[in-house]
A and B are shown apart, each in its own frame.
Chain A
């Protein structure tokens, strides 16, 4: 181990560091890193395996003769079936894009007054939102279903999109981030005669762009991977994740196609995260979740 190697691991000079412990810790990190990454690497490899390699014994981890056949099969097979695959992709895209964009807009609009003003009810409302972080959506599954059926939203995309717009984590993070916008900026705009809506739209929103990305990276994978099986029954409204389940159940002949869909499902959110990673972490760091 040379000084160069140490530099590779350690960005800045740190105090009180023993080299042996550092090395052991990095070893631990590398071992668990493999545990985390291997299933994903496997999924990528699987999607390019020809059928005979998928069912080889003993099973192999890496692909030998990579082929694009699975993807061609996927599009030709699913293109000819009753509901083409593009339909599932479209449905998932609609749900994800509308749900994510709508959530960012509504959560920001609600976070701005909570972050910058105090008015009757603001404290109580925010406390309820924070409290709702402490239980998961399954708790409300039954009444939600009843509300959906009263509204007549069963079997529509709205049943997945609309509840996701009021995801409480988004409001919480957005409010924390908005607290850092300097008050002087808002007051200057007010003196110039701007209305609250104008201030929100032209000053606050452009200033919290990094936080949009954070909300997006939390919301997007959730909706992209949503199954929707509880609310949506029509085949032509179903999501990609649901279609994957059906393909996988199709058995051996569909194994290659299933692997290709799985790759499609995981590549999109991971790519988005790679693109937005630095601003996401920056937002979470600077918004300093206050006590």
Chain B
């Protein structure tokens, strides 16, 4: 993802070169004032609700702030408490990394694999299958359907099925048992995760140049797997990058599903994630400085994972 704009507005005539930089810039700014005006509404809101909050959150993480008293500077105390003294945060961190490491790559590969198979279908079936796979992610957060499926009494579908077939004799408390809860949330999260990147992959596969594939087959590509690795994947690198960003970001932010299925807080914090920890301190205990430190750690994790994966993806098809 890189900015590639036309060079039109940059002056080419020679006197500009002798001008001081600030004067030239100022002239440029005045010349493109309409562009700034067009961008202003979006950018003001974007800065107000995204950029400034991130910066503000980083600054606030060095303070003690409870929304009532004036913030008090405490240096790295929030971080040392978070990383060294907070057992619950360690559970949350472990769970979040579990989600990120399992749901992130699995859903990413699933997105691509299904898009790839769907792409070989005839147009009508292709449209239908796209709908089937994409629908859960836009179905208006109806993941509570899974609550009924995993419900702890005999009316839950899984319990009903297992009791009828004789595997168990009495209902299992799926959602309050530490043993199962994480797996269940991962399943539901995977069900929900074929979203924007799935669409981007479907779209990307349609742009792969067919002459390339034909040329490849003349050059000795034997099967679909070679075609996939040497032609399809490299042609789709931009979409692969885009998809990776979307999947990583959402797999680090698991919270809604965990809260809907396991409650908040969950039994023994079995389904606690960094985001639920953040909500706990931010909206219940009002320790804003501490919550900001959690947010900053989360921000660092997301950004770090994204940059790392982008580096890895550049090697695809080499």
Chain A interface residues (CB < 8 Å from chain B): 7-11, 14-18, 21-22, 25-26, 28-29, 32-33, 35-37, 39-40, 42-43, 46, 55, 57-59, 61, 106-107, 109-110, 112-120, 122-123, 125-136, 138-147, 162-163, 165-166, 168-169, 171-172, 179, 183, 195-197, 200, 217-218, 221, 224-225, 227, 230, 241, 244, 248, 262, 265-266, 268-270, 273-274, 277-278, 280-286, 288-291
Classify chain B: how many residues form its interface, as a range. 35 or more
Please measure, in the bound complex, the distance between the C-alpha atom of A57 and the C-alpha atom of B226, giving whole angstroms. 51
B121 engages A118 (CB within 8 Å): no
CB-CB < 8 A to B118: which residues of A? 29
CB-CB < 8 A to B146: which residues of A? 39
A120 engages B38 (CB within 8 Å): no
**Closest CB of chain B to A54's CB: distance in Å?**
9
Please measure, in the bound complex, the distance between the C-alpha atom of A130 and the C-alpha atom of B303, giving whole angstroms. 11
Could you give 24 example pairs across A and B, Cβ below 8 Å? Answer: A11-B123, A15-B217, A36-B132, A36-B191, A39-B191, A106-B45, A113-B34, A117-B6, A123-B3, A126-B3, A129-B46, A132-B46, A135-B302, A135-B303, A136-B302, A138-B295, A139-B54, A140-B54, A166-B46, A225-B140, A266-B139, A273-B135, A285-B206, A290-B4
CB-CB < 8 A to B295: which residues of A? 138-142
Task: Check B114 for interface membership: any CB of A closer than 8 A.
Answer: yes
**Closest CB of chain B to A229's CB: distance in Å?**
10
A266 engages B142 (CB within 8 Å): yes
A107 engages B60 (CB within 8 Å): no
B302 engages A248 (CB within 8 Å): no
Of all A-B residue pairs in the complex, the 10 with the closest CB atoms, nearest first, are A284-B203, A113-B35, A110-B42, A143-B53, A140-B53, A119-B32, A285-B203, A221-B138, A166-B45, A265-B140
> Mostly helix, strand, loop or mixed at chain B's interface?
helix
**Closest CB of chain A to B226's CB: distance in Å?**
8
Please measure, in the bound complex, the distance between the C-alpha atom of A166 and the C-alpha atom of B50, giving whole angstroms. 8
B122 engages A196 (CB within 8 Å): no
- Do A39 and B39 form a contact, CB below 8 Å, given A163-B49, A281-B202? no
List residues of B (134-163) whose CB comes within 8 Å of A's CBs: 134-142, 144-146, 148-149, 154-157, 160-161, 163
Count of A-B residue pairs with CB < 8 Å: 326
> Mostly helix, strand, loop or mixed at chain A's interface?
helix
Please measure, in the bound complex, the distance between the C-alpha atom of A126 and the C-alpha atom of B1, giving whole angstroms. 10
Query: B243 — nearest CB in chain A belongs to which residue?
Result: A289
Please measure, in the bound complex, the distance between the C-alpha atom of A110 and the C-alpha atom of B138, giving whole angstroms. 26
Please measure, in the bound complex, the distance between the C-alpha atom of A107 and the C-alpha atom of B135, giving whole angstroms. 25
B72-80, B84-92, B245-253: which one contacts chain A?
Answer: B245-253
CB-CB < 8 A to A131: which residues of B? 303
Query: A240 — nearest CB in chain B belongs to which residue?
Result: B140
B127 engages A116 (CB within 8 Å): no
**Closest CB of chain B to A141's CB: distance in Å?**
6
A122 engages B57 (CB within 8 Å): no
- Do A290 and B144 form a contact, CB below 8 Å, given A22-B120, A142-B278? no
B3 engages A122 (CB within 8 Å): yes
**Given contact pairs A165-B45, A284-B204, a sample of 14 additional A-B residue pairs in the complex whose CB atoms are under 8 Å apart:** A15-B214, A29-B129, A37-B135, A58-B163, A109-B39, A113-B34, A113-B36, A145-B282, A146-B67, A162-B45, A163-B49, A200-B38, A265-B141, A281-B206
CB-CB < 8 A to B50: which residues of A? 132, 140, 166, 168
Please measure, in the bound complex, the distance between the C-alpha atom of A125 and the C-alpha atom of B28, giving whole angstroms. 16
- Do A17 and B224 form a contact, CB below 8 Å, given A134-B302, A141-B278? yes
Task: Check B172 for interface membership: any CB of A closer than 8 A.
Answer: no
- Do A285 and B127 form a contact, CB below 8 Å, given A113-B39, A141-B278, A269-B140? no
List residues of B (220-244) whose CB comes within 8 Å of A's CBs: 221-224, 226-227, 237-239, 241-242
CB-CB < 8 A to B137: which residues of A? 221
**Closest CB of chain A to B153's CB: distance in Å?**
10
B38 engages A284 (CB within 8 Å): no
A163 engages B239 (CB within 8 Å): no
